[in-house]
Amino acid sequence: MAHIELNEIAHSYLKNPKDESDYALKRIHNAWDDGGAYALLGPSGCGKTTLLNVISGLLTPSKGRVFYSGKNVTDLPPEKRNIAQVFQFPVLYDTMSVFNNLAFPLRNRGVEESEVKKRVLEVAEILDLTPFLKKRAAGLAADAKQKISLGRGLVRSDVAAILFDEPLTVIDPHLKWHLRRKLKEVHDQMKLTLIYVTHDQVEALTFADQVMVMYEGEIVQIGTPQELFENPKHKFVGFFIGSPGMNFLACSVDSNIARVDGAGIVLDDNTAALAQKAQGKMEIGIRPMHLEVHTKSVKGSLPAKVKTIEDQGSFKILTVTMAGHTLRARLPEDQTMPSGEAWLRFPKRWTKLFADGRLVNK
Q: Which residues bind another protein (CB under 8 A)?
A: 53, 56, 58, 77-79, 83-85, 87-89, 91, 93-97, 104-105, 108-109, 132, 134-136, 138-140, 149, 152-153
- Closer residue to another protein in complex, CB, 32/346: 32
Within 8 A by CB and 6+ apart from 190, the residues are: 154
Q: Is residue 17 classed exposed, middle or buried when 0-12, 13-18 and 19+ CB atoms within 10 A define those classes? A: middle
- Closer residue to another protein in complex, CB, 40/59: 59
Nearest-approach distance from CB 330 to another protein, in angstroms: 39
d(CA 323, CA 22): 40
- Closer residue to another protein in complex, CB, 135/294: 135
Cα angle: 218, vertex 223, 228; to 5 degrees? 90
Nearest-approach distance from CB 87 to another protein, in angstroms: 4
Distance of CA 311 to the CA centre of its chain: 28
Q: Is 335 helix (H, G, I), strand (E, B) or coil?
A: coil
- Closer residue to another protein in complex, CB, 170/298: 170
d(CA 138, CA 317): 45
Nearest-approach distance from CB 165 to another protein, in angstroms: 8
Nearest-approach distance from CB 322 to another protein, in angstroms: 48
Cβ atoms within 10 Å of 30's Cβ, excluding its own: 16
- Closer residue to another protein in complex, CB, 67/87: 87
Cβ atoms within 10 Å of 131's Cβ, excluding its own: 9
Element (H, E) at 67: strand 63-68
Nearest-approach distance from CB 204 to another protein, in angstroms: 21
Within 8 A by CB and 6+ apart from 43, the residues are: 199, 215, 240
Nearest-approach distance from CB 149 to another protein, in angstroms: 7
Nearest-approach distance from CB 273 to another protein, in angstroms: 51
Do residues 176 and 168 make contact, with C-beta atoms less than 8 angstroms apart?
yes
Exposure class string for 171-183: b at 16+ Cβ within 10 A, else e: beeebbeebbebb
- Closer residue to another protein in complex, CB, 152/287: 152
